[in-house]
């Protein structure tokens, strides 16, 4: 079920969601961090540093740093892969799921509130 949006609706939605998120949340995730977080929570695991780097089209240190930051915020977790100990598997956390759930609600509510 695709979502059909007019240009005004598309940018208006982004405007109100972004604005509200800035006002409400002190955790100011960058665009890249947000992309990584959504990728981890919306795409079936497993997720690795290398895989995320390839998906986003960025270098591996970018992923490592983003995981450092978001790990400190409790939004993601890292676990060594015991089958191949070179790999690190990125795990979801309860707090991260909660964060995205609230963010999803924000999008939905701002979508409803778009000018008629």
Partner DNA sequence: GGCGATCGTTACGCAAGCGTTTCTTTTACG
Partner DNA sequence: CGTAAAAGAAACGCTTGCGTAACGATCGCC
Residues that bind DNA (CB under 7 A): 28, 30, 32-33, 48-51, 58-69, 78, 84-88
Task: Based on the shown chain and the rule CB under 8 A, indicate whether residue 32 belongs to the binding site for a second copy.
Answer: yes
Task: Based on the shown chain and the rule CB under 8 A, indicate whether residue 53 belongs to the binding site for a second copy.
Answer: no
Selection from a second copy, DNA, none that 114 binds (CB < 5 to 8 A by kind) is: a second copy
Question: What is the number of helices (H) and of strands (E) in the chain?
Answer: 5, 2
Q: How many residues bind a second copy (CB under 8 A)?
A: 46
Cα distance between residue 6 and residue 10, in whole Å: 6
Cβ-contact 100, 41 below 8 angstroms:
yes
Cα distance between residue 75 and residue 39, in whole Å: 13
Cα distance between residue 19 and residue 13, in whole Å: 10
Selection from a second copy, DNA, none that 87 binds (CB < 5 to 8 A by kind) is: DNA
Task: Based on the shown chain and the rule CB under 8 A, indicate whether residue 86 belongs to the binding site for a second copy.
Answer: no
Selection from DNA, a second copy, none that 56 binds (CB < 5 to 8 A by kind) is: a second copy
């Amino acid at each position: 079920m695709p979502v059909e949006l007019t240009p005004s609706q598309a940018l208006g939605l982004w405007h109100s969601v972004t604005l509200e998120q800035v006002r409400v949340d002190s955790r100011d995730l960058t665009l890249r961090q947000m992309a990584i977080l959504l990728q981890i929570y919306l795409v079936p695991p497993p997720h690795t540093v290398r895989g995320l780097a390839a998906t986003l089209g960025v270098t591996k240190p970018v992923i490592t740093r983003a995981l450092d930051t978001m790990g400190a915020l409790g939004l993601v977790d890292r676990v060594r892969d015991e089958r191949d100990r070179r790999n690190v598997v990125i795990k979801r956390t309860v707090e991260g799921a909660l964060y995205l759930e609230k963010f999803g609600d924000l999008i939905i509510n701002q979508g409803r509130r778009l000018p008629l």
